[in-house]
Amino acid sequence: MKNSIKQTLVIFAAFVLITGVIYPLLVTGLATVLFSWQAGGSLVKGPDGAYVGSQNIGQEFTSPEYFWGRPSATAGQPYNAQASGASNLSVLNPELQKQVAERIARLQEADPDNTLPVPVDLVTASASGLDPDISPEAAYYQVHRVAAARHLPEQQVRDLVTQHIVKPFPGIPGEPAVNVLSLNLALDSVQ
């Protein structure tokens, strides 16, 4: 019986050491060496060299001069990576319907001349609440407002959006997307 307990504890300790210490350190070390930018959080620097955000975590833009990202449903504050998660409100939930109506009203208030249909990703939060990307349609929807706020020709802003569309890798399912932070940084470099 004592031998059996001793063997069980030795095997348990070995598995804890392998799966809880050695494996995580090995994976972290390899990631740091082979993919240092991604392992470091995919941090993006602005023109002055200071970090301005992450390529993979959205951030809130509210000024009319910038493209707005997908709404965030994280707790505490928008795009809170420590509280990632969806609102879990169903399509029939009156609270979600109220939120969507408020978001549509905000978009229409910011750009009353825009008669395009509002893309769904501008009025609903993603499952993580951290989505850094919007659809090309959501970006094109905002071109008029951003161009007017920056006193730029609409075609110039539209071309900038087109340049920032990232298509999925061939053969891998996915939708084209526009990274809001990258687009806004490029927009800042125009003026």
Helix H, strand E, coil C: the string for the chain is CHHHHHHHHHHHHHHHHHHHHHHHHHHHHHHHHHCHHHHCCCEEECCCCCEEEECCCCCCCCCCCCCCCCCCCCCCCCCCHHHCCCCCCCCCCHHHHHHHHHHHHHHHHHCCCCCCCCCHHHCCCCCCCCCCEECHHHHHHHHHHHHHHHCCCHHHHHHHHHHCEECCCCCCCCCCEEEHHHHHHHHHHHC
pLDDT at residue number 166 = 95
Chain centre distance of CA 128: 9
For the stretch 159-187, pLDDT in tens is 999 999 999 989 899 999 999 999 999 99
Nearest to 79 by CA among 126, 23, 16: 126
pLDDT at residue number 22 = 94
Query: Does residue 96 surpass a pLDDT of 90?
Result: no
Query: Does residue 87 surpass a pLDDT of 80?
Result: no
Is pTM beyond 0.85? Reply is no
pLDDT at residue number 49 = 86
pLDDT at residue number 78 = 85
pLDDT at residue number 191 = 62
- Listed by start position, the domains of the chain span 1-40, 43-190
How many C-beta neighbours within 10 Å does residue 105 have? 11
